[in-house]
Amino acid sequence: MIPVRMELDGSESLFEVSRGERLVDTLRSRAGLVSIKQGCAQGRCGACTVLLNDQPVAACLVLTLQVDGQRVDTLEGLHARGLLRDLQEALIEGGAVACGHCTPGMLLAAHAVLMRFSRPSLKQIREGLEGNNCRCGCKGRIVAAVRKAALRRASQGRLNPPRGVKVVKDGY
């Protein structure tokens, strides 16, 4: 077993993992974070999306050893810090949540888009959500909801990017 330290949802965490253990397995089995789902196991569906140093990644394609010393954020952590409320509200208001299987990954990918762009264009939102599939056909409503959340944030002056992220104001 190999020790791996990471900042998980704002707290330092240490896991003893095997050489080939995937991040999706560590987070679900060892950390008990159930929002991270095992989907396709090929990095195509987005069900296991987490933020690695503020970038969305498929946790099924990342070995836990690769995140040693890195920062990992999950739906549980961002929700606990109140960082997803406006996105969640926009998704509900826009009827963009059906079965809920894709919702955790979509929320994380959308949050990453909004960290990067203060006023993302529809193209930027679509590109940011590209690796996340919705089986229920809600993708158009999800894109519209992300745009609505972005407009709300901008109108309220809530453009607080995390450390090291530069907000780009060229979306429209």
Residue 167 domain-assigned (yes or no)? no
Say which amino acid occupies 132.
N
> How far apart, in whole angstroms, are the C-alpha atoms of residue 74 and residue 77?
5
Residue 37 domain-assigned (yes or no)? yes
118-140 pLDDT per residue, tens: 899 999 999 999 989 998 888 99
pTM of the model: 0.87
Structural domain total, the chain: 2
Residue 172 domain-assigned (yes or no)? no
Please state, in angstroms and as integers, the Cα–Cα distance from residue 104 to each residue in 14, 111, 151, following that order.
24, 11, 21
Pick the last residue of a domain from 26, 61, 77: 77
For 64, which DSSP code?
A: G
- 7 with 50, same domain: the answer is yes
In contact, 125 and 147? CB cutoff 8 Å: yes
CATH of the domain at 116: 1.10.150.120
Say which amino acid occupies 32.
G
In contact, 107 and 58? CB cutoff 8 Å: no
Q: Determine how many CB atoms are found less than 10 A away from the CB of residue 34.
A: 12
For 117, which DSSP code?
A: B
- 119 with 144, same domain: the answer is yes
pLDDT(162) > 90: no
CA atoms within 13 A on the CB side of 151: 10
Residue 160 domain-assigned (yes or no)? no
- 106 with 48, same domain: the answer is no
Confidence of residue 158 (pLDDT cuts 50, 70, 90): low
Strands 71-73 and 2-8: parallel
How confident is the model at residue 90, as a pLDDT? 95
Nearest partner of 134 among 91, 86, 78, 171, judged by Cα? 91
64-83 pLDDT per residue, tens: 999 999 999 999 999 999 99
pLDDT(167) > 70: no
- 92 with 127, same domain: the answer is yes
Task: Report, as an integer, the average pLDDT of 50-54.
Answer: 97
- 147 with 93, same domain: the answer is yes
Dihedral of alpha carbons 136, 104, 168, 156, sign: positive
- 106 with 125, same domain: the answer is yes
Residue 162 domain-assigned (yes or no)? no
Structural domain boundaries, residue 25? 2-77
- Token pair for 162: 């995390």
How confident is the model at residue 137, as a pLDDT? 86
- 14 with 43, same domain: the answer is yes
CATH of the domain at 25: 3.10.20.30
- 72 with 88, same domain: the answer is no
In contact, 119 and 146? CB cutoff 8 Å: no
